[in-house]
Chains A and B, each alone.
Chain A
């Protein structure tokens, strides 16, 4: 920050903004631009003096400011704002720390309890599996939607339409109760009696399977649209150039289009994943012991509702924070070539901040 300011400040001031000396200098009309000349002739005062103007006609000698000291611009209101916000943050922190009803002791006690950690692992497992499967299926749906076949397009459209318009809760309960609708699931040749195998639906669809199925299909419907949007944002000329070079279709999608589409896909995709982390808590309706359900079970027993909700919340915060860091670096990876120069990572920024400050301090000695 401060290094940027000083770099700007070091730029030599433009001649026209320097303080004027005499109105007589205006008559010399040595101002560089036409506009400046006009202003000068009207006000008769707004003209350069730097280095002293030679009499009319001769060339101006460039002024030398190299011995001047640079004073950084001051931002008093920024400081006022910072102080006000800091005060607010402090107040909130104080109340959190001192109000005994938050029961931080209980939070600490349960935070790493075995059952809570097990629930956390289940949450992570559900998120990872349905996140990955959801995006893979979403990618296929997006390609179908962009294909030239009307059948593929309408199948993909209908899929998104159905899964985006039914509540996830209903989907989950439907999957879990599939055994009620279809007692047996079998694989065979349609419209004949040939069956390769047959299973009881209830043995196939466990709580876990129902949770994964529901979350995945729902996620796929949303991811498909995100990925399709990203693909559409890539310039048509890219595909044309790749085709003209004889690059095969699959390679065109994966090597040329997708990496560029990723820039548009990633921010929304991470939104979705973070939403999914917390969204998995909805599978408590299946009595599936992920983080949220586990916490519920505990507070129903101990009646320490608030601190246990805090335990779950803090874990969600931790996961989201870790994901945000991933997001930052993955986005940075895909911005390769899209920005002229990659922005510095926070780590590099900090290093640079200290390096430049060390230098200025040494200078000012």
Chain B
């Protein structure tokens, strides 16, 4: 990271009583979570527990039905005027999103643009930077994820791990306060997982707030300040990796970890 000060002063995420339903099923049932500036929160939990949905509400890709989310004290997607919450216009939502980077499970790189073009696109059109500056910064970021020499390659000419690293560089290009990762390694072959996790480990030290959904428990223990266990649309338990992995209080947490943690990890 070029200019982010440590300790971080920006990127406080406050999620308060967030509810979300799809049709009749309530997917988030009042979720509250605070992530400190520069903090690293790892969300774990069974499939369908609402992890992705929670992540998507943070950058307003998904509208909440109740509760609210704020970043550095500013509401996401709404504006307080008088006693009312006014929904922001598309333009302002897009502006907010530039402060929140997101990395997807299946990368979602733009296949018709080169690695560098993928990284340099948003700074130009969303932040109005000059093309030259975006290019230079793009190369810097590609270098940071170890892909400077592949800048001209199209996504389909890259391995999965390389694609995901480009996607991380793309998210970083907007200098976000917060980075959201939705299972960044679960579409990858096992031997490619580490190259991506190493990049995220580096980011964790940089002072950007990270919120990561993952099934890589070893990585979660390494990198997290806070581990959050979600089940059926609720946060069941949260705490330091130490607390959650070795001494979970809730029976549901215990039974989940007894299934997912490999024996070697339990020692």
Contacts and interface: CB of A to CB of B under 8 A. Distances in A.
The prevalent SS among residues of A at the interface is helix
Interface string B131-174: 00000000000000000000000111100000000000011001
Contacts of B121: 245, 247, 255
Contact of B122 (A237, A245, A336, A339): A245
Nearest to B90: A249
Given A337-B113, A337-B154, A246 B108 contact: no
Nearest to A341: B157
Given A255-B121, A336-B154, A337-B155, A244 B112 contact: no
Given A249-B90, A337-B156, A338-B111, A244 B102 contact: yes
A244 B101 CA distance: 7
Interface stretch (B72-80, B92-100, B189-197, B252-260): B92-100
Interface in A302-340: 334, 336-340
A337 B112 contact: yes
A340 B101 CA distance: 28
B54 to A, nearest CB: 15
Given A246-B122, A255-B121, A241 B154 contact: no
B175 to A, nearest CB: 12
A240 B52 CA distance: 13
A340 B159 CA distance: 12
A256 B155 CA distance: 14
Given A251-B125, A340-B157, A241 B110 contact: yes
A179 interface: no
Contacts of B112: 259-260, 334, 336-338
B219 interface: no
B84 interface: no
A336 B208 CA distance: 35
A246 B98 contact: yes
A97 interface: no
B61 interface: yes
B206 interface: no
Contact of B110 (A238, A244, A334, A339): A238
B111 A243 contact: no
A240 B157 CA distance: 22
A248 B126 contact: yes
B108 A237 contact: yes
Contact of A244 (B97, B109, B125, B127): B97
Contacts of B110: 238, 241-242, 256, 260
Given A238-B108, A240-B108, A245 B155 contact: no
A251 B104 CA distance: 21
Contacts of A337: 111-114, 154-156
A241 B108 contact: yes
B144 to A, nearest CB: 18
A259 B102 CA distance: 23
Given A337-B154, A337-B155, A246 B111 contact: no
Contacts of B154: 336-337
A339 B101 CA distance: 28
27 contacts: A235-B108, A238-B108, A240-B61, A240-B104, A241-B104, A241-B108, A242-B110, A243-B61, A244-B61, A245-B122, A245-B126, A246-B95, A246-B96, A246-B97, A246-B98, A246-B122, A247-B94, A247-B122, A248-B90, A248-B94, A251-B125, A259-B112, A337-B114, A337-B156, A338-B111, A338-B112, A341-B157
In the complex, the 3 A-B pairs of residues with the closest C-beta atoms, listed nearest first: A241-B108, A246-B126, A337-B154
